[in-house]
Amino acid sequence: MRGILSRIKTSYLFFTLLALSVGGYYFTEYNKFQSQVEEESIYFELQNVIHKINPSNYNKDLQFDLQKLRSRTQNSSRQKRISDFIQVYSSQNQRLYPQRLNELNDFESKNFQELQKRKNKFVEFTTYTLMALIALSIFNMLFYLSGLQRQIFHPIQNLTLKINDFVNGNYQYYFNTPTDDELGHLETSFNHMAETVLKNMEELKALDAAKSEFMNIVSHELRTPMTSIKGSIALIMTGKWGELPDKVKNLLNIAEQETNRLIRMTNDFLDLAKIEARSYSLDKKWQPIDSILEASIQGLKGLQEKAKVHIDWHTDAGIEVFADKDRVQQIITNLLSNAMKFTPEGQSIQIFTEIENQHVKVSVKDAGPGISEENQKLIFQKFRQAASPDRPLVKGTGLGLSIAKALVEAHGGKIALKSDIGRGSTFYFSLPEYRRNEDTLSGEHAA
């Protein structure tokens, strides 16, 4: 696989080698330059020595100097010239001395000019090399930037767009064939993941649809025999086929009540299954919490009369909630009917609505026996019921609190309870979407 990383490495290697070549070439030229500098300094020292020389006065030291200079130079012609000169000087050859001296001086001045030329050339060369290296660096950088942009940033941006599209529900996720490198592989992996996610979503949708279908079928199958049983009992109890003995009436009453309970339980269970289904939707509207409370209390009038309990409700001014009216009423009714079942005759149930933690909090406080800590943990589970109260009002289905919990959570709220043995229980739930509407008054109500 030709990856982006190997491409980066390759081009990096290429430019490094290029720079090294240029550098290396410069280095060799520099070495040459160094030797030329040496030859130049030999020129000055030689001139120095020549000036000190008195042709008629032989100085061994000066000869020694000349010899040293000769051994330093790399130029063989120069060496020869110096040797010739040394020879006439050391041998005190007055005849050849002027000639050799001229030859040497000629050579030296020509050589010196040559050296200067080469020095200038070298300075030029250095400047060109420097400019070339700068240009190379700039070009290198531009090459990288455009390469990075094309090979890395564009693909990353494209993939980010794709992911955002997907998150927003736009599933057309094939832009183009992914390239055969690291980012291309990332894109391919993302495509695979997207496919898997979509497949799972389809499966979940199918499962949900199957569940709804199942619930419809169960609903029909269970309700049909219940209808017959209820109908039979009701017809017999009309007495039209004969007056019934009391014992028979009692037994039929029991059968009727239990049938009704069965119907309620089935309705509750199907209701709960519906609420817990992913596809469940709430019909939310803005309305005062007080009107929902009122409706709930009205609906339980019959139960309240049988229980002989009072209801005191204290509400905060003009709170409106964005919620499903029927469902919130159902929550309150469930809590309230529980409170009625467990509050002794003559005592009161307290209802509070207040704002707490940016939520509307509704609390229902009963005067019942309280709930132990172990039971508190279990109470919202399906079919959990407290021990039968002293007077059985209406037998529960065991699902009231589970349904209340599911509905509260469907609204984005929380439900909980506070209780101590012997001091009653307070069930409270919160709803997050609320506003104040100062037109309605707060108050204390009694019912």
Partner 1 sequence: MKILLAEDDSSISTILSMILEQFSGHAVDLAPDGKQAIELLQQNYYDLILLDSMMPYFDGLQVCKLARENLQVTAPIIFLSAKTAEENKKKCLDVGANGYIEKPFDPTSIWQQIESILQRVAS
- Tell me which residues touch partner 1 (CB under 8 A): 216, 219-221, 223-228, 230-232, 234-235, 240, 263
**Whole-number minimum distance, CB 227 to partner 1, in Å?**
4
Nearer Cβ to partner 1, position 161 or 235? 235
Tokens of 141: 């950088």
Nearer Cβ to partner 1, position 219 or 348? 219
Nearer Cβ to partner 1, position 335 or 399? 399
CA angle 296, 383, 204 (to 5 degrees): 90
Question: b/e for 367-405, b at 16 or more Cβ within 10 A?
Answer: bbbbbeeeeeeebbeeeeebeeeeeeebebbbbbbbbbb
**Whole-number minimum distance, CB 330 to partner 1, in Å?**
15
Distance CA 342, CA 335 (A): 11
Nearer Cβ to partner 1, position 95 or 240? 240
- Run of H or E including 264: helix 246-276
In sequence order, the β-bridge partners of residue 418 are: 426
Give residue 49's identity as a one-letter amino acid code. Answer: V
Distance CA 115, CA 121 (A): 10
- Provide DSSP, 409-442: HHTT-EEEEEE-TTS-EEEEEEES-EEE-TTS--
Nearer Cβ to partner 1, position 51 or 240? 240
Contact status, residue 339 vs residue 349, Cβ threshold 8 Å: yes
**Whole-number minimum distance, CB 292 to partner 1, in Å?**
21
**Whole-number minimum distance, CB 406 to partner 1, in Å?**
18
Nearer Cβ to partner 1, position 95 or 220? 220
**Whole-number minimum distance, CB 234 to partner 1, in Å?**
4
**Whole-number minimum distance, CB 157 to partner 1, in Å?**
45
**Whole-number minimum distance, CB 216 to partner 1, in Å?**
6
CA angle 218, 222, 225 (to 5 degrees): 150
Nearer Cβ to partner 1, position 5 or 209? 209
Closest CA to 286 of 405, 429, 408, 436: 436
